Chain A
C-alpha cells in the first residue's frame, strides 16, 4: 500500500536556488529505489521532502492515496537513516531504539519486547546499555538501522548510510541491507553518489543531475541503455570512454567517423533520419574494447598506461588524440609504449547527440 508518488515536485530555497526541478516519479510498493547522482544534484533534498524535513515549493507527494506533503515528519510513518546516523548521544542504544516507540505511545512492556527483537535481528544485543560514542562506526550504523525498522514504517528513507564506513564494512553492509529489504519487504528509498551501491542494491535507479531526473530504470537498463551522456558517464567503473565524431554517409549506409575511429552505425541510430555530418559522441564501455582482437574497422593504438587490478587489467590506449580505457584479462602481457591492434564491439556503442547529450537510437 505504500507506493510513493512524487508529482511535479519542485524545491526552491530562500536564496532562489532551485534544488529540484519538476520531479515526477512513482516508487512502487516494496521497491528498493536509489536516487543516484553527484553532490548537489538534489537527491538528498528530494529525500528530505519525502521525509517532511523540507517543504516542496510546488507539486505533491502521496503515499498510496494519502497526500503527505503537508504533514509533519512524525505523521508520515516514514523512518530515516541519516548519513551521520544521528543517534541521540545522551541516550543508550536501548533508549535510542525505544525512542520512536515512546513517541508513539507504545506501552513500556511492548517497547522492551520490540527493542529486544530488533537488537536480536541486528545482532546488537550486547550493546543495548552503551552510549553511541562507545560504538564503532559499523555498530552505530546498525543501531541507526534498528531505530528505523523497530516501528514498522511504511517507507524507509536512507541518506547515504554507508558512506562513513570503510570499504570492507561497506561491502558487508550492502549485502546486509539487501537481505534486510528482502526480509521486511518494505518500500525503501536510498540516496547515494556511489554507483556501485546503486547497481548492486536497487530494484530501480533514478539518476539525477542538477536537480533533474535523468533516467529511471533497473540497474541493467541504466547501464546498458543510458538515456544521455551524463547517465553514461556517471554509471560504470571504470568510466565509459567518449570519442567525438560525426555521422557520415558512406556507400554502405551511415558510419561514425571519429578521431582515429571509424565504424558503421546503422544499427544504433536507426537509419538516415539522423542525417549525415551531424556531430555526435560515441560512448564505449571499457569492456567493449578488445585489445589484440583482429576485427576489422579499428586499427592500432599505442598503450599509454597499464593498471593491473589483480582480477583484471585496465589498459589506457591512445586512439587519435583521445585516451580510451580497455578492460583486459588479469595477466595480460601488455606493456606501455607497445602498439597493439584493438577492436570495439560496435553493437554496444552508445551514440549521443553532441549538442544535447541525448541518446540517439
Chain B
C-alpha cells in the first residue's frame, strides 16, 4: 500500500475510534444532560409531548424555589458535615491502619487484611438492621454523628485496602534513609511516607467523600428528623411522594447536589487515576 493511502487508512481508523468513544460517552451521560436541561425548563414544558430537548424558555425558577422555599440548604450543610467528618475520620484511621498492615509484622496481619476485604464484600442491606441497633444503643439515632460512624464502617475497608496497596508499593529505602538522617519513625512517616502517598490519599478521600455525599439508604432509615436529614434522603422525601413528583425541582436539586462532586472531580481527576493505579504498577 502506498504511504498516502496508509496514512488515510490510519486517519479513518482514528476518526472511527473517536466516534465510537464519543457515542459511548453520550449514551452514558445522557441522563445527566437530561437532568441539567430539565432543571432549566419551565414546568409546562417538562412533560409536554413531543418532548423538547433544549428548553424553549430557560428559567432559574426551580433553583430559586429549591433554595428559598425548601430546607435544601440545611440538608446541604448536613451532607457537607457528614461527608467531611467521615472523610477525615476514615483518612486518619485508614492511613495508620494501612501503614501498619504494610510495614509491620505481627501475628494475624494477613488475616486482618483479608477480613477487611471481606467486610467490603458484604452487601450493605445485610448490615442495615444490626448497624441500626448499634446506633440506637449508642444513643446516636437521628444524629449526624451516627451517620458518620456508619459511613466510616463502609468506607474504611476500601480505603484501607487502597492505601495498603499504595504504601506497600512505596520503597522502604526512603523511609529508612529518613530514619538514618535523624527522623523518628513517626517523623519519617510524616516527612516521607505521607507526601509520597498523597495521590493515594487524595483518591481515597475523594472516594470516601462521594460515598458519604451520595448515600441514600442508611440516611433514609437512620434519620427521621428533617433537621438532620442529608441531601439524598431529604430532597427525595421532600419532592417525591406517591402522589406528586416535582420533576423540575427534583432535577434542579440534583444539579445542585452533583455540582460539588463534579468540581472535586475536575480538580482531582489526575490524582484519582494515579491513586487507583497504585499497586498494579509494580510487577
Contact surface of A with B, Cβ cutoff 8 Å = 14, 51-53, 72-74, 78-80, 82-84, 86-90, 99-100, 103-104, 147, 151, 157
Contact = CB atoms under 8 A, between A and B. Distances in A.
A90 B184 CA distance: 19
Interface residues of B, number: 19
B36 to A, nearest CB: 39
B181 A74 contact: yes
A82 B179 CA distance: 13
B191 to A, nearest CB: 8
A146 B125 CA distance: 58
B182 A86 contact: no
A74 B177 contact: no
Given A14-B105, A82-B173, A103-B187, A88 B180 contact: no
A198 to B, nearest CB: 23
8 contacts: A53-B176, A73-B176, A74-B182, A74-B183, A82-B173, A84-B173, A90-B196, A103-B181
Given A14-B105, A84-B171, A89-B196, A103 B177 contact: no
Contact of A72 (B105, B177, B184, B198): B184
Contacts of A84: 171, 173
A88 B192 contact: yes
Contact of B179 (A72, A83, A104): A72
Given A14-B105, A72-B184, A103-B183, A88 B176 contact: no
Contact of A52 (B171, B180, B196): B180
B183 A86 contact: no
A104 B173 CA distance: 20
Contacts of B124: none
B181 A82 contact: no
A48 to B, nearest CB: 8
B180 A73 contact: yes
B70 interface: no
Contacts of B105: 14
A99 B184 contact: no
Contacts of A73: 176, 179-180
A100 B182 contact: yes
Name A's interface SS.
loop
Closest 8 CB pairs of A and B: A103-B182, A86-B173, A86-B177, A100-B181, A74-B182, A90-B195, A73-B179, A80-B180
Given A89-B174, A103-B178, A104-B182, 16 more contacts: A53-B179, A73-B180, A74-B179, A74-B183, A82-B176, A82-B177, A83-B173, A88-B178, A88-B195, A89-B196, A90-B195, A99-B181, A103-B181, A103-B182, A151-B181, A151-B182
Contacts of A87: 174, 177
Nearest to B174: A86
Residue from the set A74, A79, A82, A147 with the largest chain B CB neighbour count within 10 Å: A74
Contacts of A53: 176, 179-180
Contacts of B183: 74, 103
B1 to A, nearest CB: 42
Interface in B182-237: 182-184, 187, 191-192, 195-196, 198
Nearest to A80: B180
Contacts of B196: 89-90
Nearest to A89: B196
Contacts of B187: 103
Given A72-B184, A89-B196, A90-B196, A99 B178 contact: yes
A16 to B, nearest CB: 14
- Interface hub of A72, A84, A87, A88 (most chain B Cβ within 10 A): A88
A292 to B, nearest CB: 53
A147 B176 contact: no
A308 B182 CA distance: 51
B130 to A, nearest CB: 38
Contacts of B176: 51, 53, 73, 80, 82, 86
Contacts of B177: 80, 82, 86-88, 147
A86 B183 CA distance: 15
Contacts of A51: 176, 180
Contacts of A14: 105
A72 B185 CA distance: 9
B171 A86 contact: yes
A88 B182 contact: no
A14 B109 CA distance: 14
Contacts of B191: 88, 99
A45 to B, nearest CB: 13
Contact of A74 (B174, B184, B195): B184
A147 B178 CA distance: 11
Nearest to A51: B180
A79 B180 contact: yes
A74 B192 CA distance: 15
A37 B187 CA distance: 34
A74 B182 CA distance: 4
A188 to B, nearest CB: 15
B253 to A, nearest CB: 41
A104 B181 CA distance: 9
A100 B176 CA distance: 12
A153 B53 CA distance: 73
A354 B176 CA distance: 43
Contacts of B181: 74, 79, 99-100, 103, 147, 151
B173 to A, nearest CB: 4
Contacts of A72: 179, 184
B205 to A, nearest CB: 18
